């Protein structure tokens, strides 16, 4: 099923795109990438537009918008600056969705207005050194002690930690029964005593980076528990499906940008006396890329509209994440080929797309894990 945006949603797209054209230059993005610098000023400007808090309920200072609007904003931001879009995707997922949905009234009042205004930013820690794809086997412990829980253990790959005030941390509160039981989520302040971190050097996504976290007797008040004791896995499933929409929308925008750069280059670059776009090998490659971008867009809006209507399934989320992330990886790879040697240089953005698209098929559930989910729904 295709999905037609309403006139209001089209207007939102145009407004975000105009903002990006006005405020974000390719040179800006390259500089943030080169210097591993978080785009703080741009994030503040997005917050002032109301896009950071777009899905936070209006009574808590947000826009109260649905998943389609979130996807529109993330796709357009992803087209201009993928890491900026990822910063917003983390905010709308771990703040706008998780705290709005499962926070107590006191937590919503304490955190949501600050998240919507851009003053508070949020990251997420699930993965551990011994619990990656098998995420339900996490062991970072949270033990009740008076008015607090005391956290001990390690997390790996917490993205955006360096710019975040709050971290939604998945912990083990019980080892009895099945591994999916006994997981509890907490809202942890990133400057909590006993919480140490160090950056991890990676292939890409440098502006926000990713981190290794060490928890030593970190005290978290009971009032910071997010959702129900021991039942955090059930809530995580909801958050992770929303995350799959957000990161797919952002990467679909980035894939469209990689395609546009490749088409422009192919029309300009001349070899053997004519533009390389006139060689069928090149034009077919571009046609393939166009097809993948359009299918990704269809899947993003199909999923977002299903989510808004309460019809989205785990399988839909897996199909979306698998396709959109594999498509971005291929589009970036093929686009780099279209640019030949220049695609391999820092003069063009294809090399960044090539590096960053590699994460899509690994983070937030690898492509293999998405295929496992889909196969299971097929009775395999």
Ligand X SMILES: Cc1cc2nc3c(=O)[nH]c(=O)nc-3n(C[C@H](O)[C@H](O)[C@H](O)COP(=O)(O)OP(=O)(O)OC[C@H]3O[C@@H](n4cnc5c(N)ncnc54)[C@H](O)[C@@H]3O)c2cc1C
Tokens of 34: 């080169």
Q: Which is nearer to ligand X, 61 or 132 (CB)?
A: 132
The least CB distance from residue 232 to ligand X, in Å, is: 13
Give the bridge partners for 211, in sequence order. Answer: 158, 199
- How far the first Cα of the chain sits from its last, in Å, is 25
Q: Which is nearer to ligand X, 289 or 325 (CB)?
A: 325
Catalytic residue check, 8:
no
CB contact at 8 A, 71 and 300 = yes
The least CB distance from residue 73 to ligand X, in Å, is: 20
Q: Which is nearer to ligand X, 57 or 132 (CB)?
A: 132
Q: Which is nearer to ligand X, 53 or 365 (CB)?
A: 365
Tokens of 227: 């959702």
Q: Which is nearer to ligand X, 199 or 340 (CB)?
A: 199
With b meaning 16 or more CB within 10 Å and e meaning fewer, what string describes 15-53?
A: ebbebbeeebeeebbeebbeeeebbeebbebbbebbbbb
User: Using alpha carbons only, what angle is made at residue 62 by residues 60 and 67, rounded to the nearest 5 degrees?
Assistant: 125
The least CB distance from residue 239 to ligand X, in Å, is: 11
The least CB distance from residue 127 to ligand X, in Å, is: 4
The least CB distance from residue 240 to ligand X, in Å, is: 10
- Spell out the alpha helix ranges (H) of 96-231: 98-102, 105-117
Cα–Cα dist 297/320, whole Å: 10
Pick the catalytic residue: 75, 128, 243, 351? 243
Q: Which is nearer to ligand X, 159 or 357 (CB)?
A: 159
**Nearest-CB residue for ligand X:** 132
Cα–Cα dist 251/253, whole Å: 5
Cα–Cα dist 31/207, whole Å: 9
Q: How far is CA 136 from the centre of its chain?
A: 20
Positions in the binding site for ligand X (CB under 6 A):
124-127, 132-133, 157-159, 202, 205, 210, 359, 362-366, 368-369, 372
Cα–Cα dist 56/318, whole Å: 25
CB contact set of 291 (below 8 Å; sequence gap of 6+) = none
CB contact at 8 A, 186 and 225 = yes
The least CB distance from residue 140 to ligand X, in Å, is: 11
DSSP line for 74-120: HHHHHHH-HHHHHHHHHIIIIIIIHHHHH--HHHHHHHHHHHHHTSS
Q: Which is nearer to ligand X, 13 or 371 (CB)?
A: 371
The least CB distance from residue 45 to ligand X, in Å, is: 24
Catalytic residue numbers read: 243
């Amino acid at each position: 099923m295709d999905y037609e945006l309403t006139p209001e949603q089209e207007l939102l797209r145009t407004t975000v795109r105009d903002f990006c054209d006005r405020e974000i230059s390719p040179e800006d993005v390259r500089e943030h990438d080169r210097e591993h610098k978080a785009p703080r000023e741009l994030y503040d400007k997005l917050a002032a537009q109301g896009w950071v808090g777009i899905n936070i309920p209006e009574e808590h200072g947000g826009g109260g918008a649905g998943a389609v609007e979130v996807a529109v904003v993330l796709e357009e931001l992803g087209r201009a600056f993928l890491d900026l879009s990822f910063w917003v995707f983390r905010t709308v997922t771990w703040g706008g969705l998780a705290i709005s949905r499962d926070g107590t009234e006191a937590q919503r009042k304490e955190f949501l207005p600050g998240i919507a205004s851009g003053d508070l930013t949020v990251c997420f820690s699930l993965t551990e050194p011994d619990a990656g794809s098998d995420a339900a086997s996490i062991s970072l412990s949270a033990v009740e002690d008076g008015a607090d829980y005391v956290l001990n253990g390690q997390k790996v790959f917490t993205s955006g930690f360096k710019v975040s005030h709050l971290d939604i941390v998945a912990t083990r509160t019980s080892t009895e029964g099945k591994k999916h039981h006994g997981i509890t989520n907490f809202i942890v302040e990133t400057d909590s005593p006993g919480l140490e971190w160090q950056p991890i050097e990676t292939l890409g996504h440098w502006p926000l980076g990713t981190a290794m976290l060490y928890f030593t007797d970190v005290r978290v008040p009971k009032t910071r528990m997010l959702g129900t004791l021991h039942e955090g896995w059930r809530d995580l499933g909801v958050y992770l499906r929303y995350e799959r929409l957000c990161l797919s929308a952002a990467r679909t925008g980035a894939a469209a940008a990689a395609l546009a750069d490749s088409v422009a280059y192919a029309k300009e670059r001349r070899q053997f006396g004519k533009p390389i776009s006139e060689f069928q090998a090149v034009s077919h490659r571009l046609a393939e890329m166009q097809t993948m971008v359009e299918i990704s867009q269809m899947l993003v809006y199909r999923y977002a509209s299903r989510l808004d209507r309460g019809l989205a399934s785990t399988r839909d989320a897996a199909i979306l994440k698998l396709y959109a992330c594999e498509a971005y990886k291929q589009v970036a790879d093929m686009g780099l080929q279209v640019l030949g040697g220049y695609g391999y240089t820092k003069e063009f953005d294809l090399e960044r797309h090539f590096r960053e698209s590699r994460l899509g098929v690994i983070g937030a559930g690898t492509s293999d894990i998405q295929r496992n989910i889909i196969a299971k729904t097929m009775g395999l």
